């Protein structure tokens, strides 16, 4: 039990050997690599695969009904998984903490409160953040772990981008699944046997991944209307959060485009630097965040060049993305997804996906400002845009969501046919 002195249960050195860290599934293309990164750094880790939406009941039962839907789902997924296990004294939980101004940074406290209510407060909760917001003697964000997590996001994005571009056109889905499996195996070996992740091996790995995708037989690439997915970070990427939106859209016969996850992290680092510059703070910290953005962008640019050379659509740089919102929204708007959400919609429109689903947890204020709140302005500048906001709430009225998605998709097909004729 937590002592009076120490309010939270810490993850100790000894637990590193005995405890399995449960990782919530927040982004399927990336979190499988996160788990591999943790395992190869000496932790026992397990990705949670329970994905029945009914698990939100657990989140609702153990947390206040006023909290954000993503928090209810993450808490629900943890408690649902814990209740099916008998090793309560041998597990720990991990959750990301961005340190931003939005409620997301307090999910960790909400989770601890929920565990207490469920009488599971002996279970340690680890905060995963670039700035080591909370420390635990048994868990350290070392340079090596940081580099592995960095590559997990970078290669997760690569895999997601290529999958988005070819999945609707593959002759057989089995070939795609096989390529995904081979990439997973490749990374297991890469993370396991590479003592340091500096150097240029990541470029070779990017080429290997693209080569695997090139082996997959496809038909009429690029012939379907493109639909972009933007919105709050959790409901944008998590199939549990968005009722399997990617699959739903593919079934409707369109090509999906989901912006890279890395942009969100860059935006978070850059926003911290922005606040230090505008409101004051540690110059050293400002430099650290600026250097971090530079380092990551430098590596991503090399991967982007490889993508472009291979004939796939290359993502734009973070700098270009940020520049895109000039005249639309101030870059000081960075609660939740902030200006990034507007930037992603503008980028999608520029890159052939004027059809957009903007995913919003019910009652999410920052998304109503930078997402739905920007629709009118975007529509004025880009009359071809066809954007729909979809609310994701605790009761998940799927029929309502589907009706709105179908209407947007039918407009996408009409516009696509007109464009083809032109
Ligand atoms: S972005 Fe929205 S859903 Fe996410 S924590 Fe903030 S208010 Fe909640």
Place of tokens 């409707």: 252
Looking at the structure, tell me whether residues 137 and 230 fall in a common domain. Answer: no
Instruction: Tell me what pLDDT residue 104 has.
Output: 73
CB atoms within 10 A of CB 344: 30
- Domain, as residue range, for 27: 15-141
Which secondary-structure segment (H or E) carries 387? strand 386-392
For residue 375, what is the domain's CATH number?
Answer: 3.40.50.11900
The Cα–Cα gap between 271 and 267 comes to: 6
CB atoms within 10 A of CB 419: 12
Question: Cβ distance 95 to 74 under 8 Å?
Answer: yes
Tell me the two tokens of residue 272: 């911290």
**Is there a domain that residue 191 lies in?**
no
pLDDT of residue 381: 97
Nearest residue (CA) to ligand 1, atom 7: 364
- State phi, psi for 135 to the nearest 5 degrees: -100, 150
Residue of 104, 230, 360, 392 best suited for mutating to test ligand 1, as the one with most atoms within 8 Å of CB:
104
Q: Any idea what the CATH number is for the domain that residue 25 is in?
A: 3.40.50
The verdict on residue 299 lying in a domain is no
Q: Which atom of ligand 1 lies at the shortest distance from residue 232's CA?
A: 1
Last residue of one domain, picked from the residues 85, 118, 141: 141
Q: 132 and 234: one domain?
A: no
Residue 344 makes CB contacts below 8 A (sequence gap 6+) with: 228, 230, 259, 263, 321
Model confidence over 9-35: pLDDT tens digits? Answer: 999 999 999 999 999 999 999 999 999
Q: Residue 264 domain-assigned?
A: no
Pair 237, 338 in one domain: yes
Instruction: Check residue 396 and give its pLDDT.
Output: 62
Q: How many domains does the structure of the chain reveal?
A: 2
Cα of 237 to ligand 1 centre, how many Å? 14
DSSP state of 21: E
365 CA from centroid of ligand 1 (Å):
7
Atom of ligand 1 nearest to the CA of 68: 8
Q: What atom in ligand 1 is closest to the CA of residue 102? A: 6
Residues 357 and 252 in one domain: yes
d(CA 34, ligand 1 centre) in Å: 23
Residues 121 and 246 in one domain: no
The chain-wide mean pLDDT, for the chain, equals 92
**Alpha-carbon distances, residue 302 vs 18, 305, 308 (angstroms):** 40, 5, 10
Ligand 1 pocket: which of 66, 70, 95 to mutate (most atoms within 8 A of CB): 70
Which residue has a Cα nearest atom 8 of ligand 1?
A: 68
Pocket test for ligand 1, best of 71, 96, 102 (most atoms within 8 A of CB): 102
- List the one residue out of 160, 181, 163 whose CA is nearest residue 27: 160
- Residue 150 within any structural domain of the chain: no
Tell which of 99, 116, 141 closes a domain: 141
- The pLDDT, as a whole number, for residue 420 is 76
Q: Which residues line ligand 1 (CB under 6 A)?
A: 68, 70, 102-104, 232, 336, 361, 364-367
What H or E segment, with its residue span, contains residue 72?
Answer: helix 69-83
pLDDT confidence of residue 196: 62
The answer to whether residues 240 and 377 belong to one domain is yes
Query: Atom 2 (ligand 1): residue with closest C-alpha?
Result: 364
Examine residue 177 and state whether it is found in any structural domain, yes or no: no
pLDDT of residue 5: 47
Q: Is residue 416 part of a domain?
A: yes
Q: Which residue has the tokens 């056109």?
A: 169
**306-329 burial code (b ≥16 CB/10 A, e <16):** bbeebebbbbbebeebbebbeebb
Q: How many CA atoms, within 13 angstroms, populate the side-chain half-sphere of residue 162?
A: 30
**Nearest-angstrom CA–CA distance, 116 and 7:** 12
What confidence score (pLDDT) does residue 4 get?
43
Smallest CA-to-CA distance from 75 within 61, 87, 85, 89 is with 61
Ligand 1 centre to CA of 401 (Å) is 19
9 within some domain: no
How far is the centre of ligand 1, averaged over its atoms, from the C-alpha of 197 (Å)? Answer: 33
Quote the tokens at residue 351: 């890159």
Cβ contact 184:212 at 8 Å: no
Q: Answer yes or no: do 130 and 254 share one domain.
A: no
The 10s digit of each residue's pLDDT in 103-123 is: 777 789 899 999 999 999 999
Q: What is the pLDDT of residue 177?
A: 97
Task: Examine the domain organization and report whether 238 and 114 are in the same domain.
Answer: no
Query: What parts of the chain have a pLDDT lower than 50?
Result: 3-5
Quote the ligand 1 centre to 388 CA distance (angstroms): 19
Q: Tokens in use for 274? A: 């922005």
Number of residues in the chain: 422
Distance, CA of 241 to chain centre? 11
Q: Does residue 365 share a domain with residue 237?
A: yes
Q: Any idea which residue has 């592995």 for tokens?
A: 148
What pLDDT score was predicted for residue 198? Answer: 64
Ligand 1 centroid to Cα of residue 383, in Å, is: 29
CA 225 to ligand 1 centroid distance, Å: 30
- Distance between CA atoms of residues 250 and 245, nearest Å: 9
Q: What is the pLDDT of residue 61?
A: 94
Residue 285 lies in a domain: no
Closest ligand 1 atom to residue 336 Cα is 1
Half-sphere exposure of 393 (CA within 13 A, CB side): 12
In this prediction, residue 202 carries a pLDDT of: 87
Please give the Cα distance from 210 to 135 (Å, whole number).
Answer: 38
Among residues 141, 176, 205, which one ends one of the domains?
141
Claim to verify: residue 131 and residue 242 sit in the same structural domain = no
């Amino acid at each position: 039990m937590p002592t009076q002195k120490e309010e939270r249960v810490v993850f100790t050195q000894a637990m590193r050997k005995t405890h399995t860290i449960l990782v919530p599934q927040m982004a399927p293309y990336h979190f499988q690599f996160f788990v591999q990164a943790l395992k190869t750094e000496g932790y026992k880790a397990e990705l949670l695969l329970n994905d029945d939406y009914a698990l939100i009941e657990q989140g609702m039962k153990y947390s206040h009904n006023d909290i954000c839907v993503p928090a209810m789902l993450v808490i629900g997924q943890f408690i649902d998984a814990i209740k099916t296990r008998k090793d309560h004294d041998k597990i720990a939980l991990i959750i990301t903490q961005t340190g931003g101004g939005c409620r997301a940074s307090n999910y960790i406290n909400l989770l601890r409160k929920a565990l207490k209510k469920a009488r599971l407060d002996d279970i340690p909760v680890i905060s995963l953040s670039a700035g080591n917001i909370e420390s635990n003697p048994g868990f350290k964000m070392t340079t090596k772990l940081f580099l592995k997590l960095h590559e997990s996001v970078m290669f997760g994005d690569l895999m997601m981008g290529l999958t988005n571009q070819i999945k609707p056109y593959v002759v057989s889905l089995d070939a795609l699944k096989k390529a995904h499996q081979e990439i997973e195996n490749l990374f297991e070996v890469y993370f396991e046997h590479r003592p340091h992740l500096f150097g240029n091996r990541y470029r070779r790995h990017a080429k290997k991944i693209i080569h695997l995708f090139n082996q997959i037989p496809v038909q009429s690439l690029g012939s379907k209307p493109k639909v972009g997915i933007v919105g709050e970070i959790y409901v944008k990427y998590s199939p549990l959060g968005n009722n399997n939106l990617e699959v739903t859209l593919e079934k409707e016969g369109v090509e999906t485009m989901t912006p890279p996850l890395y942009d969100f992290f860059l935006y978070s680092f850059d926003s911290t630097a922005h606040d230090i510059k505008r409101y004051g703070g540690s110059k050293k910290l400002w430099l650290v965040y600026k250097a971090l953005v530079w380092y990551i962008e430098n590596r991503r640019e090399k991967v982007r060049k490889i993508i472009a050379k291979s004939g796939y659509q290359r993502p734009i740089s973070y700098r270009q993305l940020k520049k895109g919102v000039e005249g639309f929204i101030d870059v000081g708007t960075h609660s939740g997804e902030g200006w990034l959400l507007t930037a992603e919609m503008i980028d999608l429109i520029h890159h052939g996906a004027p059809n957009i689903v903007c995913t919003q947890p019910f009652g999410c204020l920052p998304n109503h400002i930078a997402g739905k709140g920007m629709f009118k302005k975007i529509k004025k500048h880009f009359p071809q845009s066809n954007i729909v906001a979809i609310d994701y709430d605790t009761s998940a009225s799927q029929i309502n969501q589907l009706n709105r998605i179908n209407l947007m998709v039918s407009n996408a097909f009409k516009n696509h046919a007109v464009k083809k004729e032109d």
